[in-house]
Amino acid sequence: MGRFNAFSGALLSLAILPLANGAPAAVSSASASSSPNPPLRGSEDLLGYSPSNVLTTENTDDVPYQPVEGQNLDAIDGFYLDFESVENPQPIRGSKGGTDPGPQKGNDNYDRINSDKLAPPGTDSGSTINAQWPMGLSHNRLGLNGAGWARQENTEVMPAAKAMAGVDMRLEAGAYRELHWHVASEWSLVLNGSARIAAMNEEGQTFIDDVSKGDVWFFPPGVPHSIQALENGTEFLLVFDDGSFSEDNTFLTSDVFSHQPREVLSKNFGVPIAAFDNIPTEELYIFPGTPAPKDIQEQNVTGSAGSVPKEQSYSYHFSEQPAHEVPGGSVKIVDPLTFPIASNFSAALVTVKPGGMREIHWHPSSDEWSFFIQGKARATLFSAPSSATTFDYRQGDVGYFPRSNSHYVENTGDTDLIFLEVLQADHFSDISLGQWIGSTSKQIIRDSLRLSNETLDQLKTEKQYVVAGSTNLTSFTQP
């Protein structure tokens, strides 16, 4: 047993040592301190002020760093600060903040890719919800025999994201997402590759289709379905209409079969008990399979109920819909007006060119669940009455903006930014701050915001969706 100190309660600090017979013996702190190995606890002489206290002589003001473009400007200007190539990024904006002398962080990359957390704009205030989650921090559920994987975001990691949850799933060529169904609705955007999806509704009507990058599918609660990757594999995003949804609570056919008495299975299917000798004893979830035939009709099984009517199709070939072009990028929308079966899912796929931004807006009828597909971005979430937080996003991140809370999404990279906005609504809609201000009497705006007549003349009465901008900082700072 090691040596350790105990206080006597008066003047002596004692160490307790075990004797051979197990009884402890006390020695003075002087004896303990003479040991080559100091005791675990120090002396009571270290309490409070003493003339012998030793102060550090380390200079904490000498912190070497190189300010990045825009860092010395007024904090309320709030330009994006690119810390990615900075050796020692510092929490400073204009006259606000101060140096960080250490201790050195184990991973400075968090500061480099989240500059708006390290050195927030001067317009940030108070505390909003956490509106950011990187899927890269989600636990990865690995499929069998190299068949794929799945990572999820839900209220376990984003407590305020109560309306929707998401899953990023990969299936290798020929792999299956096992036959299953959910309590929640499932909406999906194919991120790459292609897959064959199949389902059956309550009427016994069947559905099968092949979908590829940019296409969308939807399965209502309780509708059983399957997904199999085609020859090049696939990755897809799943969005569920319940923020607490978990992939671990899916109803899988392997589980359904393995938890029924075999006598019951025999009676149900009208086959001998021995027919079920080889059913899986554990769930398959994601597993390799026989490649799907190229001719989809070979798998198009239809009973007396026939096929799902076209107007109730579970897929929508969103990839073939041209985008609506605007000066700063493009937008295209899929919602129940064109995809009726997804009665409460509305989405916009937004592309923002470098320097541009998704204009300041909010959604009166729904929270917004976002997924960043490509590029880098930042967004400021404003919550009444006066809280504002700026978040940095990149490919694979989830964003969440509560109903009627205003936000923008700015491209902070040098390539196109592509992201998805998903609402729980019967059609996609938003309120544009610019359109509202531009559509209000100039007198009212002048009195309220003290804007000049020259500025008022430049306001627009039409919604912009995405506005163009420059990546050149000097274009903003010059009069």
Distance CA(235)–CA(255), nearest Å, equals 24
The CA distances from residue 163 to 158, 367, 420, 422, in Å, are: 11, 7, 16, 11
Tell me: do 97 and 189 sit in the same domain.
no
Which of 272, 287, 316 represents a domain boundary (last residue)?
A: 316
Query: Over the chain, what is the mean pLDDT?
Result: 91
- Span 167-195, pLDDT tens digits: 999 999 999 999 999 999 999 999 999 99
For residues 242 and 96, state if they share a domain.
no
Domain stop point among 301, 316, 331: 316
CATH number for the domain harbouring residue 200: 2.60.120.10
Phi then psi for 259, rounded to 5 degrees? Answer: -105, 20
407 belongs to an annotated ligand binding site = yes
202 is in an annotated binding site: no
Q: Report the Cα 437 to chain-centroid distance in Å.
A: 31
259 labelled binding-site residue: no
Identify the domain containing residue 217 by its residue range.
138-316
Give residue-wise pLDDT tens across range 245-281. Answer: 999 889 999 999 999 999 999 999 999 999 999 999 9
Q: How many CB atoms lie within 10 A of CB 229?
A: 28
Residues 152 and 250 in one domain: yes
Q: Are residues 102 and 241 in the same domain?
A: no
Annotation says 421 is catalytic: yes
What is the DSSP annotation of 225-242?
EEEEEEEEEEEEEEEES-
Confidence band of 472 (pLDDT split at 50, 70, 90): confident
Reported as a single tens digit per residue, the pLDDT across 112-123 is 999 999 999 999
For 196-213, letters b (16+ CB in 10 Å) and e give bbbbbbeeebbbbbbbbb
Residue 317 marked as a ligand binder: no
Q: Is the pLDDT of residue 10 over 70?
A: no
- What pLDDT was estimated at residue 213? 98
- If asked whether residues 112 and 256 sit together in one domain, one would say no
In a domain, 24, yes or no: no
Same domain, 99 and 206: no
**pTM given for the model:** 0.88
Q: Is 156 annotated as a binding residue?
A: no
The answer on 239 and 96 residing in a single domain is no
Q: Are residues 166 and 285 in the same domain?
A: yes
Residue 462 lies in a domain: no
Of 42-46, 286-290, 319-323, which gets the smallest average pLDDT? 42-46
What pLDDT sits at residue 24?
47
Of these residues, 202, 421, 454, 462, which one is catalytic? 421
Does 130 fall in a domain? no
Q: Is 427 annotated as a binding residue?
A: no
How many domains in the chain?
A: 2
What is the token pair recorded at 264?
A: 């019951």
Asked if residue 305 and residue 171 are part of one domain, the reply reads: yes
Q: Which of 316, 337, 357 is the last residue of a domain?
A: 316
